[in-house]
Copies of this chain bind each other. A is one copy, B any other.
Amino acid sequence: MTRMATMTAAQRRDQARREYDAFIRSCPTNQLLDRISDKWVSLVVSALAAGSMRYSDLGRKIAGVSPKMLTQTLRALERDGIVARTVTPSVPVRVDYELTPLGTSLSCLLSAVKDWAELHIEQVNEAREQYDAEEH
């Protein structure tokens, strides 16, 4: 009989995925990619790059964001030390958000990404047109 101890391809991949996941979670680069790749994060950071803003101002400036995602994004960024949250206990309460030094640094990295994007987007678009023109 065939060795039952032999793992199936799926089992092997499953185990590999577990190890991989553990690796990913401990990998700074991927942690950061997860962070900046978030749809709303880059928008919040670039909005705040211009200066501190209130919660509702962010909601208006970032068109189409739901309160839930805005809060979720801001909490995550606050936890990571990217943004600072300041509560003014007036009535009604006023909450301001601003970039920390670390946040400003991240904002610079996003600028680098932006520069690369604008420099190469045309090349990408050409590649896409050419690819789509061929038959696949």
Contact = CB atoms under 8 A, between A and B. Distances in A.
Stoichiometry (number of copies): 2
Interface of A is mostly: helix
Contacts of A23: 63
Given A63-B20, A112-B112, A127-B102, A117 B81 contact: no
A114 B64 CA distance: 31
A132 B80 CA distance: 10
A124 to B, nearest CB: 5
What size tier do the contact residues of chain A reach?
35 or more
A120 interface: yes
Contacts of A17: 63-64
A29 interface: yes
